[in-house]
Amino acid sequence: MRWSKLPVSFAALYRYRGKALKSLTRYEYTALVRVVETSSAETSDTRCGRKKSRTYPFGAGLGIENTYHQVLRSKLLTPKFTSSPPHPPKKMPQPPILDESDEESDEGYNDQLKAYKKELAAWRKKADKFAHFYLIVFRPEDELYEKGQVCTYKYDYEAFLKYYNQLCWGRCEIDDLRVRQIDRVVHSLRIDKDKKEMLAAHRGRAKTMWSPEEKEAAKEYYGNYQSTANDFGIDVIPDAIQSLTSQEETNARKHLGHSRAILDTLRNLTKTTEDSILHTSRKSSPSATKTNVNVLPFNMDLDESKRQSKIKDTSYVDEDTSGPNKYRTIPDLGKKVEDYIKAQDLSADKDIVVKLARDHFEAIRSGKAREKDYIAPNALVCGKPGNGKSKIIESLDGIAKIMKVGEQMKHAFMGSAAVGIRGTTLLKSWNIPVFEKGQQVRYKEWNDDEKRALKRMFGQNIDSICAVIIDEVSTIQPYMLAYLSIRMQELFENDKPFGGRMVILLGDFDQKPPTAGGKSGTLPGVVMKYIEEEGAPPTSKSAEMLGLAQMGGFLFTKFRYIELTTQHRSGDPKHMALINKMSKTGVGPTVQDLKRIENFVTLS
């Protein structure tokens, strides 16, 4: 009997993908999974080389589950849409309001009501089309993966809003990734603006599209703002200076057409903003104005490899704030933050830290943080193992995400500690030098490459850094804290301590000491040594005169001390008594102590 292969649609493959792959969206399934024919010959597991990819069987009902299976791709694919995705719907039409005091308005109201129903029907059609596409592509259908299952999913606009909100408030990393992917497709932003400019300059660094003579001719010709246009209204290069291949000519026309579309968009935005300003009362305060973007994004006189963006972030000023406020209003923000904090089930000793951070985030949103007399709160949070210091970092990350104030920079001195909090090492990130024992501690300028690398971590938007967290503070030498403050002042162009940003130090001084050692090698040690010698705490002037280590000690005295006492990791009093004994005396457990704890699974 001759067997012939029949085509199986991608929709059918995804519909019967099996239980193991049920949580994948269609977009993810396309990028990650490929279908492979099952071989009857068995291969030995002892063969050399790379291990075979894990196989995933199809669910029952497809008809090819016995002859084909699924494997994960070794290289991720990027799915490409064959046509443009539906545009997001505009604002939903609102019904007309009937004026009951005017009897003659009934006829006009009926006409308005008919027009409203017509507009609503057209809006509903576009909204549902938009929602249907994005739900099909980016929502996992984890209840449809094998035979016998019935589809209960909805694909209207309300279902899309519900799913999108679930992703926004989800606590899993995959939820955040899916939200970003949807936003990129909706707004056609495949990559950040700064990265686009960087890539454009990099790709054009060695362009040879035109010779130097042709470039000079083009500059001379277009210097008087003369241009010709083809039948499509797109500017073209005259034949006198045109020596491109057909493919290069096509690419050049696409580029010019895209540039014209960008300029038209900028003109429309400028015109819209000017119209809104004209309708604003002349008695409005000067702080209520909006900055227009009315310059081209590039300096066109420079070579492409040297072009830099001129567009500045548009600042918006709320009438009820004292300074510029670029943060959009979030409905029920206070309730959302309260619900999140309540869901974290934090102990009472952590409420102080959470309140300090929340007040600072609110100051950032309101614009108060940019006032000259505002001093950002700094906190030193100490506690024994199991007191929940890592939980504080996780909770503050969630609050910052809900309030849309940016993100926290998380650091530690040692790489293992930095990985544990999903952060980076302090010295590498802020280009803080290391001084050997006996070597004089002195200030060194910030390396330009290291400074640019730090900015690239945040897409050149350093204002998105809302706070800095340093874990295992007992390993930090005093001069490093002074260096951090100087670096942050330079980065944020702010003379306040730490550049006006909130800094939280976490750790336990009974645990790991600094690598330098010695009494004056710790932050508390350098302060106590100064008090012993001078009889009073260090001041800003005295610390500045003595050096960076003393300046770090002075800054350390300005941190608010918060002690965590609630134990979350161990509920056994004998266990905790042993830990407290080790931390207070520095003496390890005795044989008798070990006999008492030999039945314990973990010490700390």
User: Would 590 be classed as within a structural domain?
Assistant: yes
Give the mean pLDDT of the chain.
Answer: 76
Same domain, 579 and 517: no
Same domain, 595 and 558: no
Tell me the average pLDDT across 203-231: 62
User: Would 258 be classed as within a structural domain?
Assistant: no
Question: Between these two residues, 573 and 93, which has the higher pLDDT value?
Answer: 93
User: Would 500 be classed as within a structural domain?
Assistant: yes
Residue 233 has pLDDT above 50, yes or no: no
Of 186, 217, 240, the position where a domain reaches its end is 186
* Domain count within the chain: 4
Of 145, 169, 186, the position where a domain reaches its end is 186
Q: Which two tokens stand for residue 355?
A: 């309140």
Q: What pLDDT was estimated at residue 27?
A: 93
Q: Model confidence over 140-193: pLDDT tens digits?
A: 999 999 999 999 999 999 999 999 988 988 878 898 899 888 888 887 644 555
Same domain, 449 and 515: yes
Same domain, 541 and 603: no
Lowest mean pLDDT among 34-38, 255-259, 440-444, 504-508: 255-259
**Per-residue confidence band for 602, with pLDDT thresholds at 50, 70 and 90:** very low
Same domain, 545 and 583: no
Distance CA 138, CA 537 (A): 59
Task: Determine how many CB atoms are found less than 10 A away from the CB of residue 260.
Answer: 13
Alpha-carbon Rg of the chain, whole angstroms? 32
| Residue 169 identity | W
Q: What pLDDT was estimated at residue 543?
A: 77
Q: What pLDDT was estimated at residue 317?
A: 38
Same domain, 417 and 492: yes
User: Would 38 be classed as within a structural domain?
Assistant: yes
Enclosing domain of residue 596: 570-604
| Residue 94 identity | Q
User: Would 464 be classed as within a structural domain?
Assistant: yes
Tell me the average pLDDT across 553-570: 82
User: Would 415 be classed as within a structural domain?
Assistant: yes
**Strand pairing category for 465-471 and 502-507:** parallel
Q: Model confidence over 396-407: pLDDT tens digits?
A: 999 998 998 888
Same domain, 517 and 427: yes
Residue 529 has pLDDT above 70, yes or no: yes
Is 320 in a helix, a strand, or coil?
coil
User: Would 281 be classed as within a structural domain?
Assistant: no
User: Would 233 be classed as within a structural domain?
Assistant: no
Task: Tell which residue, 414, 417, 521, 515, has the closest CA to residue 478.
Answer: 521
Task: Determine how many CB atoms are found less than 10 A away from the CB of residue 360.
Answer: 22
Same domain, 500 and 359: yes
Question: Between these two residues, 155 and 108, which has the higher pLDDT value?
Answer: 155
Same domain, 542 and 559: yes
How much is the pTM? 0.47
Backbone dihedral region for residue 472 (phi beyond 0: left; psi -120 to 50: alpha; all else: beta): left
CATH number of the domain within which 404 lies: 3.40.50.300
Of 52, 72, 92, the position where a domain reaches its end is 72
Q: Which whole-number Å values give the CA distances from 79 to 174, 510, 601, in the listed order?
A: 18, 53, 48
Same domain, 603 and 458: no
Same domain, 560 and 590: no
Q: CB neighbours of 22 closer than 8 A, spacing ≥ 6?
A: 140, 141, 142, 143, 145
Same domain, 152 and 14: no
Residue 497 has pLDDT above 80, yes or no: yes
Show the DSSP H helices in 94-236 as ranges: 105-138, 157-169, 173-186, 193-203, 212-222
